[in-house]
Each structure stands twice: as structure tokens, then as C-alpha cells.
């Protein structure tokens, strides 16, 4: 197996991991390496992430797992480097300071994510944590035009909250012992320790909302946004309606975009479309210049 040299400095971090660049010693090629500390991650959890990541790496829409290695303290997951960082950074943090992500760009991005999830689920993996911070861009500092034109690759990462299933039935329910994922983006059934492939459809609805509503999550703690309480967020996830437009000056979303998010964010998982069915929605039609795809 080739050896790698870690480069100093983090390019990302999460709950129990850090991500650094590394180079392959044989040819100097650069990769991203996720370091998972054995002290902070249960062995079963790391094993599940590895299996899910390996299975998912068949998809061109996933930041491919290249190699894995470990020492006494750490697991190292060497993966394809996505030089553009996360969609959260590019489309949610930077662009919306000036104007929100436009619908055409958002629809192209969401389409790529759905293609990735379709492959991932066909390989028997429920991603379990779909959100803008887990979607990577291959092109450094992409313009909105590059994002909208598919010139910039869009790849899923982070299989740390993933669950394995048989890869066939979009309504299969899998019991999970441990609640993992991001409270803002967890589906109603996930709060009851049940995951289904359609939990990823919910995540796509959340991602779409993030893109079109200046990075906000569909369900937040309105009274304490700077110190959010998880039970208030989950109250909204279980019983609330997302605020699709409540700020003066916010551009109106098209009926097609609203319909897409409504379908993805249905409380009952079986009532949501599968990720494959989502691709058929008019809002995601490739010929986005057609009037019906724009206006619904
Ligand atoms: N292949 C990659 N190329 C470039 N950057 C990456 C890559 N993989 C991960 N990152 C960066 O590292 C961050 C953390 O990685 P990842 O999401 O896999 O870790 P995590 O600990 O599971 O995250 P969290 O718990 O916050 O969801 C990503 O949000 C991204 O900024
Ligand atoms: Mg992550």
C-alpha cells in the first residue's frame, strides 16, 4: 500500500474528526485525509463509516475513499481532495451576503446531490447527514455560473452518520442505536432512532432550504437563535412548518421550488419521494431555461 505524508494545517473539522491535506509519497499527488481519533469514536461507529464510505465510493458524485490506515490512536481515511471546500462555505456563507443563491444554481446543485444519493443508496447506504457542509466542490472559488453549469463537480462526503440497508426498498426502516447526525437536519423518524432512505430526501429538502434561504435551516430555535436548544429545534422538525418567506425583501420562491421542498419535508417518510423520484420533479429539469421549470 502506498504511504502518505500529512501536510500541516486543517482544511476542515467536525465533531470528532479533523481533515488535513496529504501527499502520496510515490508521486506527490494530493488528497484529503480525515483523522478519526480512536479515543473519541467507538470502534463500531468507525467501522460503519468505513464500510459505508467504501460502498458509496462507486459513485462519481462522492469524494472517493482512496485508502485507509491506522495507528494506535487514529484511523486515517485518505480521500479525493475537493479543492473548492464545502457548499456551505461557497454558496451559503459567501454569496448570500450579497444575494441568495438563485434558483437555477440551487436546482443544478440539488440535482448533482440527488444523483450522488441515488448511487449511494443503490450501493446500500443511507447517508444520514445530508447538509451543505457535507457537500464538496471540486473547483476552487467557483462562480455561480460554474456551479449552475456543472463545470464545478459537486461531491458528497462524510459517511459518519450513515446506515447500511439492502439497497432496494426506499421505504425500508432501519433501527439505529445511537442518534447521529446534525440536530437541525435530522428527519422526524430519525429522532425515534429509525432511518430510511427517505431520511436522505428530508436532508435534500433541508439543503435546498439552506441554499434558497441564506443558509438558514428549516427548523430553528426562533427565540434563542444564538444559543439554540435542541428540543426547540426538534419540536419544529416534528410538528412545525418551515418559514419559506418571512423576511421583508426576501425574493419570492417559485411555486416549483416550494413544491419540491414541501414534498421533501413531508413529516411521514413514506409520503416523501425517493431520491430517484425527486430527480423527476419539474424544478430540477435540466433545460432550466424552459418557462415551466422556472415558474412551476
Ligand atoms: N475530501 C475532502 N476534500 C476537501 N475537504 C474535505 C474533504 N472531506 C472533508 N473535508 C472538510 O472537512 C470537513 C469535515 O469532514 P467530515 O464532514 O467528513 O467530518 P465530520 O467530523 O464527520 O463532520 P461533522 O461532524 O461536522 O458533520 C468538511 O465539512 C470539509 O470542510
Ligand atoms: Mg461533516
Ligand 1 contacts CB of residue 240 (under 6 A): no
Instruction: Indicate the residue among 57, 79, 101 that finishes a domain.
Output: 79
In this structure, the answer to whether residues 67 and 184 fall within a common structural domain is no
Ligand 1 contacts CB of residue 17 (under 6 A): yes
Contact between 41 and 35 under an 8 Å Cβ cutoff? The reply is no
pLDDT of residue 289: 52
- pTM exceeds 0.95, yes or no: no
Among 10, 11, 12, 23, say which to mutate for ligand 1: greatest number of ligand atoms within 8 Å of CB.
12
Instruction: Indicate the residue among 79, 96, 116 that finishes a domain.
Output: 79
Instruction: Indicate the residue among 17, 48, 79 that finishes a domain.
Output: 79
Distance between CA atoms of residues 35 and 19, nearest Å? 6
Give φ, ψ of 26 to 5 degrees.
Answer: -70, -40
Distance between CA atoms of residues 132 and 86, nearest Å? 7
In this structure, the answer to whether residues 151 and 274 fall within a common structural domain is yes
Q: How many CB atoms within 10 Å of residue 45?
A: 17
Start-to-end C-alpha separation, the chain:
52
In this structure, the answer to whether residues 70 and 94 fall within a common structural domain is no
pLDDT of residue 163: 96
Domain holding 108: CATH number? 1.10.510.10
pLDDT of residue 296: 36
In this structure, the answer to whether residues 130 and 249 fall within a common structural domain is yes
Residue nearest to atom 19 of ligand 1 (CA): 14
In this structure, the answer to whether residues 73 and 125 fall within a common structural domain is no
Domain holding 22: CATH number? 3.30.200.20
Distance between CA atoms of residues 24 and 4, nearest Å? 4
In this structure, the answer to whether residues 191 and 49 fall within a common structural domain is no
Ligand 1 contacts CB of residue 212 (under 6 A): no
pLDDT of residue 246: 63
Query: What's the angle, vertex CA 237, arms to CA 114 and CA 182, rounded to 5?
Result: 60
Smallest CA-to-CA distance from 14 within 163, 191, 203, 160 is with: 160
pLDDT of residue 116: 97
Between strands 125-126 and 163-164, the pairing is antiparallel
pLDDT of residue 291: 43
In this structure, the answer to whether residues 91 and 130 fall within a common structural domain is yes
In this structure, the answer to whether residues 249 and 139 fall within a common structural domain is yes
In this structure, the answer to whether residues 105 and 250 fall within a common structural domain is yes
In this structure, the answer to whether residues 193 and 140 fall within a common structural domain is yes
Among the atoms of ligand 1, which is closest to the Cα of residue 160? 22
Dihedral (CA of 157, 161, 163, 167) sign: negative
One digit per residue, pLDDT tens: the chain, 296 residues? Answer: 789 999 999 999 988 899 999 999 999 999 999 999 999 888 889 999 999 999 999 999 999 999 999 999 999 999 999 999 998 888 776 665 556 678 888 999 999 999 999 999 999 999 999 999 999 999 887 777 777 777 789 999 999 999 999 988 999 999 999 888 999 999 999 999 999 999 999 999 999 999 988 888 999 998 898 899 999 999 999 999 998 876 676 678 899 999 999 999 999 999 999 999 999 999 998 555 544 444 43
Ligand 1 contacts CB of residue 270 (under 6 A): no
Range of the domain at 156: 87-293
Q: Name residues with Cβ closer than 5 Å to ligand 2, which is an ion.
A: 14, 134, 158
In this structure, the answer to whether residues 219 and 117 fall within a common structural domain is yes
Smallest CA-to-CA distance from 202 within 274, 137, 283, 136 is with: 274
In this structure, the answer to whether residues 53 and 110 fall within a common structural domain is no
Distance between CA atoms of residues 114 and 98, nearest Å? 27
For the chain, the domain total comes to 2
Residue nearest to atom 12 of ligand 1 (CA): 12
pLDDT of residue 213: 86
Amino acid at each position: 500500500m502506498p504511504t502518505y505524508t500529512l501536510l500541516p494545517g486543517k482544511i476542515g473539522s467536525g465533531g470528532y474528526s479533523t481533515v488535513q491535506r496529504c501527499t502520496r509519497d510515490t508521486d506527490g499527488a494530493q488528497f484529503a485525509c480525515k483523522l478519526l481519533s480512536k479515543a473519541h469514536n467507538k470502534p463500531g461507529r468507525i467501522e460503519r463509516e468505513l464500510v459505508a464510505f467504501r460502498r458509496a465510493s462507486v459513485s462519481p458524485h462522492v469524494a472517493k475513499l482512496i485508502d485507509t490506515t491506522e495507528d494506535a490512536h487514529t484511523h486515517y481515511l485518505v480521500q479525493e481532495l475537493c479543492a473548492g471546500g464545502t457548499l456551505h462555505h461557497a454558496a451559503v456563507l459567501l454569496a448570500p451576503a450579497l444575494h441568495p443563491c438563485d434558483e437555477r444554481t440551487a436546482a443544478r446543485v440539488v440535482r448533482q446531490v440527488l444523483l450522488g444519493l441515488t448511487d449511494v443508496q443503490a450501493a446500500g447506504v443511507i447517508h444520514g447527514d445530508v447538509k451543505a457542509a457535507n457537500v464538496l466542490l471540486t473547483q476552487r472559488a467557483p462562480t455561480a455560473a460554474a456551479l449552475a453549469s456543472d463545470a464545478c463537480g459537486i461531491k458528497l462526503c462524510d459517511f459518519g452518520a450513515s446506515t447500511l440497508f439492502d439497497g432496494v426498498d426506499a421505504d425500508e426502516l432501519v433501527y439505529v442505536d445511537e442518534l447521529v447526525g446534525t440536530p437541525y437536519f435530522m428527519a422526524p423518524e430519525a429522532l425515534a432512532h429509525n432511518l430510511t432512505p427517505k431520511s436522505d430526501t428530508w436532508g435534500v429538502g433541508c439543503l435546498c432550504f439552506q441554499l434558497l434561504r441564506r443558509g438558514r435551516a428549516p427548523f430553528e430555535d426562533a427565540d434563542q437563535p444564538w444559543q439554540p436548544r435542541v428540543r426547540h429545534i426538534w419540536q419544529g422538525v416534528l410538528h412545525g412548518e418551515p418559514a419559506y418567506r418571512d423576511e421583508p425583501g426576501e425574493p419570492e420562491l417559485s411555486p416549483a421550488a416550494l413544491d419540491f421542498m414541501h414534498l421533501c419535508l413531508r413529516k411521514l417518510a413514506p409520503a416523501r419521494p425517493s431520491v430517484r423520484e425527486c430527480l423527476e420533479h419539474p424544478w430540477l429539469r435540466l433545460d432550466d431555461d424552459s418557462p415551466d421549470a422556472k415558474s412551476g
